[in-house]
Amino acid sequence: MQKTSDNLLNLFIFIFVLVIIYATFFANHNDSIKKNTAITVEKVSLEQFKIDDPEQFPYWGKDFIHIRDQETDLKLYPQASYRIYAMVMGKTKYSWGWESKIAPYDLALAWNKLMLPENQKGIIYSQGNRWYYYSYNEKFPLESSYISKHSSNHHIIPANSTLRKALDEVKTKDIIYMEGYLVYIKGKVKNGTVWWNSSLTRNDTGEGACEVFYIKKAVLGDKVYK
């Protein structure tokens, strides 16, 4: 009789502990979603993520990222893994076109020598209609070929709401680190076929030269978003 009572007591304690663990997790999980704040995995220094130029490696997998709703059925095919440490020279939010549903922001990014204080004077960056432009005066120390190879417009696709929060908060002249995939997109929008392809080189200019960037991690200030 004593043994049976002990078993029941142990079972009760086990169930009670499980309920407490579940309730704590559920409360914290809901709180994180409700606040939609950054997930800071550690107290980081942005400097530790510094790289001079974007790093890119071919992606050989055949898998894809599927995005669907009532009007949209898109498949995002990773073409290359990609990471970048750069200064935000321009930020534009878009709310029209099917592209804006997945890539609400374009970031005009510049890296390497273009981030130096002396090279932020005498040059102007601007954006419009999913393009970016730059103009500079005759005293600017770097050539046009250097600027075009060390700056680019990035169509940013956040992987989740936390990364969307990072994009909402980023400002011009902020330094940001991001990693994820350059993607090719193909699918249907309102029964019409659409596609969007990322540039895979830093040497191109003009139409098709922008990066379509699906981000899975971003570092802004001392916060890691992912």
The share of the chain scoring above pLDDT 70, in percent, equals 81
Question: What is the pLDDT at residue 78?
Answer: 98
**Cβ atoms within 10 Å of 32's Cβ, excluding its own:** 13
Digit-coded pLDDT (tens) for 193-220: 999 999 999 998 888 899 999 999 999 9
Q: How far apart are CA 93 and CA 104, in angstroms?
A: 6
Give 117-127 pLDDT, tens digit per residue: 999 999 999 99
- The type of residue at 97 is G
Amino acid occupying residue 4: T
Rg (CA), the chain: 23
Give this prediction's pTM: 0.81
